[in-house]
Amino acid sequence: MALEDHTTTDYGHVPVLKDRVTELLSPAITRAGDKAAIVDCTLGAGGHSENFLRRFPHAIVVGVDRDPSALSQATDRLQPYRDRFFPVHARFDDLAEAIQDDSHLHEICASGIHAALFDLGVSSMQLDQLDRGFAYRADAPLDMRMDPSSGITAADVLNTYAHGDLARIFKTYGEERFAGKIASAIVREREKAPFESSARLVELLYATIPAATRRSGGHPAKRTFQALRVEVNQELDSLTRVIPVMADLLAPGGRMVFMSYQSLEDRIVKRSFSELTASATPPGLPMDLPGTAPQFRLLTRGSEKASPQEIADNSRAAPVRVRAIEKTSTEYGGQR
């Protein structure tokens, strides 16, 4: 990945697959000309938005993030483009409501959204803010909320969920082999004292997960911390909801790109894209019946991975899976 301008010099975060994302979205942005509306649905540190603003000097970029700290820092970063950058504090699956509630945002998106990016999961900036509790490498309060102003914390989950619910989220969201065993250990330990800090949880996981697995399966806390973060922030539910919402908001010829870092996210995107690109014509007919042709087409063959050079330049790119789709018709009737 090219390291240019203050994308890395001042802020330290290199956007994953910046050039490939731009390549996938560029035709839709170019076709829209000076009316192009780009939505960075996971603003984070603002690296992708900065690249869009620099590469497309007539486009307007809407930056969406549920994390008020990230939104504030990215807005400061993008001050040189303040005439073309519009920050929005919201969950990305609430974007349609945000557009309806804000007259300026409604005007920006009046002719539809031409390009949308979803860089899923926790941002590197959030991981670097150790007091947020996302990282297992340092002791911190068990919070993990992307929006610290609302919702339950990871400590709430650990201290109040029943054994079966804990086991379910560890297995489903963390793909943890020892989900039941970990849930049992948590229930026993919280009877002594409620969980408050990440260090105590990490210590419990080291004691619970067998040594052979610890030696070969990566950090023993990785899967549990992922599962807690997904549960606290309802990440997979938000992702499932936002795809039909954005499909409806896209202008004809508009494109959206999803960057997933875990298999659970990628499966949701894959399944949703399959539904959007499927014909509604009954099987066996030689051609699509009127009104039944798919209204979207895939832009990527399967999921694209980062190249070895990209991973060498930016290790965060190693697990990424990229899928992109284009809206080909005005006939799609999603959930506005």
- In order of start, what are the domains of the chain with their CATH numbers? 6-125+235-327 (3.40.50.150), 131-233 (1.10.150.170)
Between the alpha carbon of residue 307 and those of residues 161, 317, 318, 321, the distances in Å are: 41, 9, 9, 11
Within 13 Å, how many C-alpha atoms sit on residue 289's CB side? 7
Torsion angle, alpha carbons of 189, 192, 198, 200, to 10: -80
Q: What is the pLDDT of residues 184-234, one digit of tens each?
A: 999 999 999 999 999 999 999 999 998 877 766 678 889 999 999 999 999
Q: Is 92 annotated as a binding residue?
A: yes
Q: What is the pLDDT of residue 214?
A: 74
280 confidence band (pLDDT: 50, 70, 90): confident
3-state secondary structure of 313: helix
Q: Is 48 annotated as a binding residue?
A: yes
| Cβ-Cβ contacts under 8 Å for 126 (sequence gap 6 or more) | 44, 67, 70, 132, 134, 146
Q: Is 225 annotated as a binding residue?
A: no
Between the alpha carbon of residue 231 and those of residues 5, 58, 117, 155, 227, the distances in Å are: 37, 39, 23, 12, 6
| Cβ-Cβ contacts under 8 Å for 293 (sequence gap 6 or more) | 279, 281, 329
55 confidence band (pLDDT: 50, 70, 90): very high
Rounded to the nearest angstrom, the gap between the alpha carbon of residue 274 and the centroid of all alpha carbons in its chain is 19
274 confidence band (pLDDT: 50, 70, 90): very high
Q: What is the pLDDT of residue 125?
A: 62
Taking residues 286-313, report their average pLDDT: 87
Q: Is pLDDT at 133 greater than 70 in this prediction? A: no
121 confidence band (pLDDT: 50, 70, 90): confident
10 confidence band (pLDDT: 50, 70, 90): very low
Q: What is the pLDDT of residue 220?
A: 86
Q: Is 46 annotated as a binding residue?
A: yes
Does 124 or 199 have the greater pLDDT score?
199
Share of the chain above pLDDT 90, in %: 74
Q: Is 47 annotated as a binding residue?
A: yes
